[in-house]
């Protein structure tokens, strides 16, 4: 199967390339190859390569910047998806699109099912929801949240940097979700593709955490692996204490039971995957 991965240099794009199964002949593109805001060039590239499958791991993810640059966010998160779908409709291919918990409003008290009503509260969330709406019945949508990977730009590595610089820091404690290792997400996507899955599915690591809980775990696990020489003081903050241009979901847990049933495997707890990521991070030096 010929597979084209977009967002080649991103966390998920890299993980998809590293975990690709033997049956997948993978090529990957990033902005240097094709600017996703240029619909004509993107369409031409897709029709030229005519892959059996496009896995769209590219996205405009600058959540706060999107509030003042929604047009660019829409061009990448929605319009480019429409271009991919149209090209695949012409060549007979399929699209796997990765989306986000931000399509929900965060007011639930139980994990969001794949079919739950969407109500995005930010420009980023709105444009990602619009991208979802471009898919066809034969395509696959995978939503996720709180993604991180060794060597990437993410919360884990930001926290380690700040913990090295400061004796004390504050982290929001009233936003709840589940951290997700990009490697595990990539393996789930490949598993769903192998089973010719269509429709909407969710993937996050098992367990529940606030950003504060996550930060405390990062400190403990990073210190145990020599990535930190001391444990900083971490203070819990409220969302009101740390205002941002974009509204974040207060509750981001996704119901992943259908995904696990489809794959026939239990989810791995987020702290277990955090340890794996930090072991990789330690090797990077």
Q: How many Cβ atoms from other residues are within 10 Å of residue 272's Cβ?
A: 13
Q: Which of 60, 102, 112, 124 is catalytic?
A: 124
At 19, give phi and psi (nearest 5°): -100, 10
As a whole number of angstroms, the distance between CA 73 and CA 33 comes to 19
The three state secondary structure string of 104-131 is CCCCCCCCECCCCCCCCCCHHHHHHHHH
Q: Are strands 199-202 and 2-6 parallel, antiparallel or unpaired?
A: unpaired
Quote the CA–CA distance of 209 and 203 in Å, as a whole number. Answer: 15
Q: How many angstroms separate the CA atoms of 121 and 117, rounded?
A: 13
Q: Which two tokens stand for residue 43?
A: 């369409």
Backbone phi, psi, residue 41, to 5°: -70, -40
The distance of Cα 172 from the centroid of its chain, to the nearest Å, equals 20
The full DSSP string for 116-183 is: SPP---SHHHHHHHHHHTT--TTSEEEEE-SEE-TTSSSHHHHHHHHHHH-SEEEEE-S-EE--EEHH
> Quick check: is 212 catalytic?
no
Catalytic residue annotation: 124
């Amino acid at each position: 199967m010929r597979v084209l991965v977009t967002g080649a240099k991103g966390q998920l794009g890299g993980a998809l390339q590293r975990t690709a199964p033997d049956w997948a002949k993978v090529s990957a593109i990033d902005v240097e190859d094709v600017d996703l805001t240029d619909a004509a060039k993107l369409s031409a590239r897709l029709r030229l390569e005519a892959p059996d499958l496009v896995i769209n791991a590219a996205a405009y993810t600058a959540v706060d910047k999107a509030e003042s640059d929604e047009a660019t966010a829409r061009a990448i998160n929605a319009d480019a998806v429409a271009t991919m779908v149209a090209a695949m409709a012409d060549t007979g291919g399929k699209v796997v699109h990765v989306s986000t918990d931000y399509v929900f409003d965060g007011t639930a008290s139980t994990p969001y099912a794949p079919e739950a009503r969407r109500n995005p509260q930010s420009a980023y969330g709105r444009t990602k929801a619009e991208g979802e709406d471009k898919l066809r019945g034969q395509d696959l949508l995978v939503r996720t949240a709180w993604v991180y990977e060794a060597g990437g730009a993410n919360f884990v590595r930001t926290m380690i940097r700040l913990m090295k610089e400061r004796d004390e820091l504050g982290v929001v404690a009233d936003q709840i979700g589940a951290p997700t290792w990009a490697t595990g997400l990539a393996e789930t996507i490949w598993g769903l593709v192998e089973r010719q899955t269509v429709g909407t599915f969710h993937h996050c690591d098992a367990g529940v955490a606030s950003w504060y809980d996550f930060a405390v775990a990062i400190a403990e696990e990073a210190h145990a692996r020599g990535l930190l020489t001391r444990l900083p003081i971490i203070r819990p903050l409220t969302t009101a204490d740390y205002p941002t241009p974009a509204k974040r979901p207060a509750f981001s847990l996704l119901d992943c039971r259908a995904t696990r049933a489809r794959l026939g495997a239990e989810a791995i707890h987020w702290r277990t995957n955090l340890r794996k990521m930090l072991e990789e991070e330690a090797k990077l030096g």
